[in-house]
Amino acid sequence: MEQIDLLKLRIPNKYDNEEKYTNTLEALLEDTKNIALSNLYPFEDWSEMELPKKYYNWQIRASIELFHFLGYEGIKSYSENGLSFSRMEDGISADLLDELMPNAGTIKKTTLQDEESSKETNND
């Protein structure tokens, strides 16, 4: 089942127009994909990457969170009659964002022996 179909199972159509509903869900999927990739690969150009399959469930849950905040963009916190809520700037909760583990490079230690064996291999 595709992501859009899974999202349709979780978010009911509240629009009069099926095309507007589908376009909204596709935009949510695209937004959450970009948020995930920018967090997963902060030091790489992720603009042409696809979201790894292991994050598909995360993408659905993040899309649902963004859907519930449609129309409330720009509001960081709100309080009325003793009820209040706060959210991250991009509309996704900190708990959900914490599930994304950034891909970071590691520093490799090289020794003189490693460099010499590398030179010998290249000379062959």
Per-residue pLDDT of the chain (124 residues; tens, 9 = 90+): 899 999 999 999 988 999 999 999 999 999 999 999 999 998 888 889 999 999 999 999 999 999 988 876 666 666 777 776 665 556 788 888 889 988 765 555 666 666 666 666 666 5
Runs of H (alpha helix) within 1-124? 3-10, 18-40, 56-68, 94-97, 112-123
Instruction: Provide the 3-class DSSP secondary structure of residue 67.
Output: helix
User: In whole angstroms, how far apart are CA 16 and each of 8, 13, 19?
Assistant: 15, 8, 9
CA distance 46 to 22: 25
pLDDT for 10 equals 95
pLDDT for 74 equals 62
Q: Which pTM value belongs to this model?
A: 0.71
